[in-house]
Structure 1
Amino acid sequence: MEGVESPKAPQVSQNQGKRPNQNAHGDGRKPAKTRKKQKPAVEGSHDEVLLLDIQALLEAQKLSDDFAGEAAESNPLPEQGSEIEVEVVEQSSTGDGLALQQGSKQIYVVPFTVKGDIVKVKAYRQIHGQGYTQADFISVIKPSLLRDDSRIRCQYFSRCSGCQFQMLDYSEQLKLKRDIVVKAYRNFSQLAPELVPEILDTIGSPLQYGYRTKLTPHFDGPPGGHRRGPKKSLSERPPIGFTPKTSRKVLDIEDCPIATEAVRKGLTAERTRMDAEFGRYTKGATILLRESTQRVPKPSDGEPTPASPADTLHVAESATHTDYKTCITDNNATSTEYIDSFIFTNPAGSFFQNNNSILPPFTAHIREHILPPTTPPGSKPIRNLIDAYSGSGLFTITQAALFPGGSIGIDIAGKSIEFARRNAALNGLAESQCRFLAADAPELFKSVKDGAYDPDETVVVLDPPRKGCDASFLRQLLQFAPRRVVYVSCNVHTQARDVGVLVRGEVEGLSEEKAEDGAEKKRRVRYDIESIRGFDFFPQTGHVEGVAILNRVEI
């Protein structure tokens, strides 16, 4: 990829990482207890998603829960430090491979592998009663037809936990991510299959490397620094990087090829700074690396070319302007980035999407689908946008031109709302077109009960945190009953759970005789799913963003 220096692909044949203080299970931890009762799938956590994939594989092998427990006992782990050979037969939605040892029914969860790989692993923790064992990847014995290690651009792959799929062709990564969305709705929505439309193909990122505009490497403090007594300073520059799969110690990372050029150069600069300043630190810390852009229009014929800003780390040219890229390390500084012609400023340490290259097609997709394809005769046209969990105004601002009645964004973070208002002004949007409210999301519905927003003329955009929407919010959303809902999520599993609630039109407490304010309920509604599509915000990883479009149906 242009502008991305590709380090020599490492040999992914040996993983030297060791787990400290290993016991008979190989990891220093007590054996997991048998879980007597399976909790409902509602959290969308890594462990919950993994267990559902394992249960599906067990069912595919025609194994009951009882037999799975017997399989675990009849197939004990090898002695500490010994290695076994397994074949990867399925890919989990966590990005891990699910593997079997020949002659055994026990499932091994192995990172950095792909379906069809035969690999050498070290089993380190058996999950009793659930039919699987966690294992460390050691080496590839026979690669899958899908695996090509020459694609790997990072020397830390299979040790750093950040990426899982660098050995795969990008088209295969997108297929896997579509499968993740499919399984999320199968496992978490509690909907009959006929209520879930075919999941559309995942939209890929224009950049597969060199895309991350933010990294937060960290380092540990001096050994024993947590104890009482005089503070000890670091005696040498500590490893600076990320927590690996195979150890609790920080993995020293000199370069990260999925980061933008400015962020990569910023990492080099921070490591050089730490070479001189490590003695100032008595405890560990996290380093912010955030790309910021200064956009300068290209001069007309005869006009002088402006000099680059002194701290420029990378320059990106277009036909109409030049973007000067810098790397911010101060959490309280202001970062700037552009999505097409829209400008957004944010506190550098706060959340904003970390792949700028996909934001133009992503916001264009929302723009193309935020309104219904047609307006049936006798129906009111949609005039209003309500953007829940709006942050610094990504959707409120980029979609505002479509809504003559205006757009409103709400977020609990007052600082984000300050910047959202500033961003609206920077993009030439008057308050009558685009306004923001600093409050918890449920407060939104109190502000619309005054009749300012006709639900028949309103679309609501949801972009909640990974945990999804709480029951109170979903209850109030169903009571308000907007004509259309666009649900954007960084966790397709909790998105599927919440979409299931909206499609059923059921949430705890909604069927009561009276609404929360004591007034009689005027209507009962549910939603149909128009479309579901994934977006690949983080190539080379197992993460996928989801967009679901919903239409109101009267009950």
Structure 2
Amino acid sequence: MFAIRSSAWRLTSYVALSPVQAFQLRSASRKSFQRHSANAPFPAIMQNNPKKQFDGKKKFKKAKVDKNKSSGHDEVLLCDINNLLKRNEPEQDETNGENAPVAVPEKFTEIDVKIAELSSTGDGLALSENKKYVYVVPFTVPGDTVRVKVVKHFEPLSYSLTDFVKVIEPGPQRNDSLINCKYFGECSGCQLQMMSYDDQLAHKRRIVEKAYANFSGLIPELVPTIGETFASPMQFGYRTKLTPHFAHGGANKKADEEAPVPPIGFTYKNRRLDMDIEDCPLGTDIVRRGLTTERKRVAENIRSYKRGATLLMRETTARVPKEPSAATDSETPNVEGIPASVNADTGDVIRTERENYIEEKRCITDNNATSFEYIDDYVFSNKAGAFFQNNNSILSGFTEYIRSRAIPPGNDQDAKPIKYLLDAYSGSGLFTITLSPLFKSSLGVDIGGDSIISARENARANKLPNTGFAAADAATLFKDVPYPPDQTLLVIDPPRKGCSEDFLRQMLEFKPRRVVYVSCNVHTQARDVAVMVQGDEKQNVRYEIESIRGFDFFPQTGHVEGVAILNRTAFPQAETV
């Protein structure tokens, strides 16, 4: 409970006003949340007055962060290419004092190359004979000698894209017996099926290391050793959501004309063409069944489509008590929007017997239908087409990892212990809800109205009265927070583009004591974490990185998620002579 004094939030006395009500009262007149562009620059504190970095010896070194440096797929790939060329820069030709020119093969020529390294995008990189040019080769590992077809040149950038043709001599990390999909080598969905899972995890740890080395600009002393990648319990059959698509319908065909069924699936690697995918081994069993059913339905009704479409296969889970009279609230939540069970007589279903209940899994194909997911004993409902993590097998370990580190050691002995949680970009409440038992009060904030509706339903379903959610204006988010910064943990889980300029600036003004930064793009995470580490000298606040670790939400792919934990500190005092 909180009171208002003048125009500021103060923890002075108790009135019948919850943190969420207080937050909503202050933010009701704010403008709508405007998300910033993918290339949002760093805050003005970095643009106009780059701060020096503390190196642990009471002196500073200037930041090397390029505030305008993008961190999308192409930029990450180009960074790896440039670093490879730099490490292998040839000596000048002794005959003419210049490096020999690069002879780039004609497009669609087949050549043999040897893979030097694996990029952070999951593509192999091979050097030309004179080591001045790079060929980007998908579906390869370091040490492979392969035949490739050159398909696109980027000569000013010193590289070409190629198609994988065949292996001439495998590298030590290649094991083709591990490949579990007939489309691997053409489909753009997976990159690493020919690698052992241990090698995949090691590669993803290296991705995180390179992200901080290449995109943070921080000196090595400020970045702790990257932890080993947290493994997914399932390496296949883990995706609870698939979204295949097709390019055109058959409504424009005359009655006497054939309406061919277009390819239904995913795109080819290096092409803007759809590949017909009958099955995807990354999907859960029920999602794979749904893919088969949906493909058949589209084929039978292709004339009803005027144009192409993206399909949805989303797993939903129900827990049905073995003895209805012994049902518990956690097994059969029965609040508005969350039924106790789903009619077992409708649609395909996979049932698994557990100790106290029968688990029923179905596939939803309607974006607006409600899906249900369990993480341990927490239940989450969402619109089936909305975002939610797609690998349920890792979520228990993932949330436990964050829960075990949310509160710093010795917090209960602190004069002002952390006891409030602010979850920015909260979505439907994954972290707000799973962390809530640790805190006196928790507040989740998000732009999405549908997400907030789902989050509130999830809080009620899980019986968490100290947990609230509110839609907020990002430009004024921290001005409305009803918690004292010294006792607040901030959890950040932004979209791939990372945090906006306003968000980071105001976060430094708010000064939360501890930050957990979860990211689906470790490159934008590295950029944003650098802003926190550099801090704001006027506010006398900066952050130190406690730990960084990658999480493998998507085995067989080049993707890795990251969790960084930071603690607030002050700028060091100047030494006196």
Fold-level match, TM-score > 0.5? yes
Alpha carbons of structure 1 residues 373 and 108: separation in structure 2 relative to 1, 3 Å: same
Q: Which residue is equivalent to 1:211?
A: 238
Q: Which residue is equivalent to 1:170?
A: 197
Q: Which residue is equivalent to 1:520?
A: none
Q: Which residue is equivalent to 2:155?
A: 128
Q: Which amino acid aligns with 2:279?
A: D
Q: Give runs of aligned pairs for residues 48-63 of structure 1, distance below 5 A.
A: 48-62=75-89
Offset at residue 44 of structure 1 (A) = 1.4
Q: Which amino acid aligns with 1:208?
A: Q
Cα distance in 1, alignment partners of residues 107 and 155 from structure 2 = 17
Cα distance in 2, alignment partners of residues 378 and 426 from structure 1 = 33
Q: Which residue is equivalent to 1:244?
A: 268
Q: 1:393 aligns with which of 425, 429, 444?
A: 429
Pairing 1:381–2:417 present: yes
String of CA shifts for 1:298-333, please: whole Å, max 9, x gaps.
Answer: 238999xx9944324322332222211111111111
Q: Give runs of aligned pairs for residues 292-311 of structure 1, distance below 5 A.
A: 292-299=316-323, 308-311=344-347
Q: Which residue is equivalent to 1:371?
A: 407
**CA contact 1:75–1:106 (8 Å) conserved in 2:** yes
**CA contact 1:336–1:346 (8 Å) conserved in 2:** yes
Q: Which amino acid aligns with 1:445?
A: F
Q: Which residue is equivalent to 2:314?
A: 290
Offset at residue 246 of structure 1 (A) = 4.2
Q: Which amino acid aligns with 1:375?
A: N
Q: Which residue is equivalent to 1:263?
A: 287
Alpha carbons of structure 1 residues 230 and 391: separation in structure 2 relative to 1, 3 Å: farther
When normalised by structure 2's length, the TM-score is 0.80
Pairing 1:140–2:167 present: yes
Cα distance in 2, alignment partners of residues 175 and 371 from structure 1 = 28
Offset at residue 271 of structure 1 (A) = 1.1
Q: 1:470 aligns with which of 500, 507, 517?
A: 500
Q: Give runs of aligned pairs for residues 116-515 of structure 1, distance below 5 A.
A: 116-222=143-249, 235-299=259-323, 308-375=344-411, 379-404=415-440, 406-430=441-465, 433-448=466-481, 452-506=482-536, 511=538
Cα distance in 2, alignment partners of residues 313 and 461 from structure 1 = 36
Cα distance in 1, alignment partners of residues 491 and 255 from structure 2 = 49
Q: Which amino acid aligns with 1:254?
A: E
Higher mean C-alpha displacement, 369-378 vs 176-185: 369-378
Secondary structure of the structure 1 residue equivalent to 2:301? helix
String of CA shifts for 1:113-166, please: whole Å, max 9, x gaps.
Answer: 111110001112222232222111111111111111110111000111000000
Cα distance in 2, alignment partners of residues 64 and 437 from structure 1 = 61
Offset at residue 554 of structure 1 (A) = 1.5
Cα distance in 2, alignment partners of residues 116 and 300 from structure 1 = 59
Cα distance in 2, alignment partners of residues 75 and 231 from structure 1 = 57
Cα distance in 2, alignment partners of residues 377 and 222 from structure 1 = 66
**CA contact 1:410–1:439 (8 Å) conserved in 2:** yes
Cα distance in 2, alignment partners of residues 48 and 40 from structure 1 = 14
Secondary structure of the structure 2 residue equivalent to 1:363? helix
Offset at residue 548 of structure 1 (A) = 0.2
Q: Which amino acid aligns with 1:500?
A: A
**CA contact 1:177–1:544 (8 Å) conserved in 2:** yes
Alpha carbons of structure 1 residues 476 and 375: separation in structure 2 relative to 1, 3 Å: same
**CA contact 1:215–1:289 (8 Å) conserved in 2:** yes
Offset at residue 207 of structure 1 (A) = 0.5
Alpha carbons of structure 1 residues 443 and 437: separation in structure 2 relative to 1, 3 Å: farther
Secondary structure of the structure 1 residue equivalent to 2:527? helix
Secondary structure of the structure 2 residue equivalent to 1:129? helix
Secondary structure of the structure 2 residue equivalent to 1:442? helix
Cα distance in 2, alignment partners of residues 169 and 550 from structure 1 = 32
Cα distance in 2, alignment partners of residues 173 and 190 from structure 1 = 26
Offset at residue 196 of structure 1 (A) = 0.1
Q: Which amino acid aligns with 1:358?
A: I
String of CA shifts for 1:381-419, please: whole Å, max 9, x gaps.
Answer: 101000000000000001000001x00000000010001
Alpha carbons of structure 1 residues 174 and 231: separation in structure 2 relative to 1, 3 Å: farther
**CA contact 1:383–1:457 (8 Å) conserved in 2:** yes
Offset at residue 236 of structure 1 (A) = 2.1
**CA contact 2:251–2:305 (8 Å) conserved in 1:** no
Q: Which amino acid aligns with 2:531?
A: V
Offset at residue 42 of structure 1 (A) = 3.1
Higher mean C-alpha displacement, 240-249 vs 452-461: 240-249
Query: Any unmatched runs of 5+ in structure 2?
Result: 1-64, 93-97, 328-341, 572-577
Higher mean C-alpha displacement, 291-300 vs 387-396: 291-300
Secondary structure of the structure 2 residue equivalent to 1:114? coil
**CA contact 2:445–2:469 (8 Å) conserved in 1:** yes
Cα distance in 2, alignment partners of residues 301 and 500 from structure 1 = 55
Alpha carbons of structure 1 residues 377 and 82: separation in structure 2 relative to 1, 3 Å: same
Cα distance in 1, alignment partners of residues 271 and 158 from structure 2 = 25
Secondary structure of the structure 1 residue equivalent to 2:479? helix
**CA contact 2:149–2:163 (8 Å) conserved in 1:** yes
**CA contact 1:233–1:283 (8 Å) conserved in 2:** no
Higher mean C-alpha displacement, 236-245 vs 337-346: 236-245
Cα distance in 2, alignment partners of residues 233 and 379 from structure 1 = 79
Q: Which residue is equivalent to 1:74?
A: 101
Cα distance in 1, alignment partners of residues 265 and 256 from structure 2 = 21
Offset at residue 40 of structure 1 (A) = 5.9
Secondary structure of the structure 2 residue equivalent to 1:48? helix
**CA contact 2:184–2:190 (8 Å) conserved in 1:** yes
Q: Which residue is equivalent to 1:538?
A: 554
Alpha carbons of structure 1 residues 234 and 257: separation in structure 2 relative to 1, 3 Å: farther
Q: Which amino acid aligns with 1:291?
A: E
Offset at residue 195 of structure 1 (A) = 0.2
Cα distance in 1, alignment partners of residues 256 and 518 from structure 2 = 46
Q: Which residue is equivalent to 2:73?
A: 46
Offset at residue 443 of structure 1 (A) = 3.3
Cα distance in 1, alignment partners of residues 203 and 181 from structure 2 = 21
RMSD, matched Cα: 2.7
**CA contact 2:428–2:451 (8 Å) conserved in 1:** yes
Q: Which amino acid aligns with 1:525?
A: V
Secondary structure of the structure 1 residue equivalent to 2:153? strand
**CA contact 1:389–1:409 (8 Å) conserved in 2:** yes
Q: Which residue is equivalent to 1:551?
A: 567
String of CA shifts for 1:505-524, please: whole Å, max 9, x gaps.
Answer: 04xxx85xxxxxxxxxxx42
Secondary structure of the structure 1 residue equivalent to 2:209? helix
Cα distance in 2, alignment partners of residues 314 and 74 from structure 1 = 61
Offset at residue 377 of structure 1 (A) = 6.0
Offset at residue 79 of structure 1 (A) = 3.2
**CA contact 1:391–1:420 (8 Å) conserved in 2:** yes
**CA contact 1:86–1:99 (8 Å) conserved in 2:** yes
Alpha carbons of structure 1 residues 116 and 48: separation in structure 2 relative to 1, 3 Å: same
Offset at residue 232 of structure 1 (A) = 12
**CA contact 1:234–1:280 (8 Å) conserved in 2:** no
Cα distance in 2, alignment partners of residues 121 and 382 from structure 1 = 56
Higher mean C-alpha displacement, 409-418 vs 293-302: 293-302
Cα distance in 2, alignment partners of residues 550 and 131 from structure 1 = 38
**CA contact 2:107–2:152 (8 Å) conserved in 1:** no
Secondary structure of the structure 2 residue equivalent to 1:399? helix
Cα distance in 1, alignment partners of residues 139 and 560 from structure 2 = 17
Alpha carbons of structure 1 residues 302 and 391: separation in structure 2 relative to 1, 3 Å: closer
